[in-house]
């Protein structure tokens, strides 16, 4: 992890970000989605802040994290949902954890109090990563959506900031 760093995502990162997104979707356990969005759709769906990428010692982009609002209601203004993806060739090197920790710090500094995510039960790497980073399991939504024609469960996780009171 010593050779990895985190920096803000820029529009120049679009192709790499979307390629890593697609590789994660192709793995079959990241999301109900099967195709990465266009950059325009990605850009419109994510908050402009808290978009981060992980780079290796050669400045190669190996992962990203971004957050979306969960609701238009004022009461939930500090509740976001995030996505985190690491290049399959660079997984297990700490990039996911680095990205989550940086995103937690960035959102907390902006007054966001809850970060949530839905994870397939089969996604052991993501479940481990999130629990190590301080997320707790809320529960399991059973057969909540179809993925390639198959009903799948989703485990809901959240991290409530201990510092925003």
Ligand X SMILES: CC(C)(COP(=O)(O)OP(=O)(O)OC[C@H]1O[C@@H](n2cnc3c(N)ncnc32)[C@H](O)[C@@H]1OP(=O)(O)O)[C@@H](O)C(=O)NCCC(=O)NCCS
Residues that bind ligand X (CB under 6 A): 24, 27, 29-30, 63, 84-86, 91-97, 117, 119, 123-126, 128-129, 132
Compute the least distance from the CB of residue 56 to ligand X, in Å.
11
> Which tokens hold the place of 88?
């399959």
- In angstroms, give the least distance from the CB of 55 to ligand X: 13
- At 134, list the tokens: 């301080």
What's the CA gap between 19 and 65, in Å, rounded?
14
Q: Is 91 or 161 the residue whose CB approaches ligand X more closely?
A: 91
Q: How far apart are CA 78 and CA 112, in angstroms?
A: 4
Looking at the Cβ atoms of 65 and 112, the one nearer to ligand X is 65
Q: How far is the CB of 25 from ligand X (least distance, A)?
A: 8
Q: Decide whether 92 or 162 has the Cβ nearer to ligand X.
A: 92
Structure tokens at 21: 């997104």
Q: Is 70:76 a contact under the CB 8 Å cutoff?
A: yes
| Choice between 44 and 124, CB closer to ligand X | 124
Of the pair 57, 75, the CB lying nearest ligand X is at 57
**Tokens at 80, concatenated:** 């976001």
CB of 133 to ligand X, least distance (A): 8
Residue showing the smallest CB distance to ligand X in the complex? 96
| Phi, psi dihedrals of residue 44, rounded to the nearest 5° | -75, -30
Listed in sequence order, the residues at least 6 apart from 114 whose beta carbon sits closer than 8 Å to its beta carbon are: 78, 79, 80, 158, 159, 160, 161
The least CB distance from residue 129 to ligand X, in Å, is 4
């Amino acid at each position: 992890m010593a050779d990895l760093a985190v920096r803000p995502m820029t529009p120049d990162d679009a192709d790499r970000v979307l390629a890593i997104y697609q590789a994660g979707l192709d793995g079959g356990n990241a999301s109900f989605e099967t195709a990465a969005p266009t950059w325009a759709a990605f850009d419109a769906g994510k908050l402009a802040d808290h978009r981060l990428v992980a780079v290796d010692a050669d400045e190669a982009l190996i992962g990203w994290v971004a957050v979306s609002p969960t609701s238009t209601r004022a009461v939930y203004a500090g509740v976001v949902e995030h996505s985190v993806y690491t290049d399959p060739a660079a997984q297990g090197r700490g990039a996911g954890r680095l990205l989550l920790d940086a995103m937690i710090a960035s959102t907390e500094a902006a007054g966001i109090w809850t970060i949530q995510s839905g994870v397939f039960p089969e996604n052991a790497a993501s479940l481990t990563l999130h629990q190590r980073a301080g997320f707790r399991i809320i529960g399991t939504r059973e057969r909540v959506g179809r993925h390639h024609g198959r009903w799948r469960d989703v485990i809901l996780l959240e991290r409530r900031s201990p510092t925003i009171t």
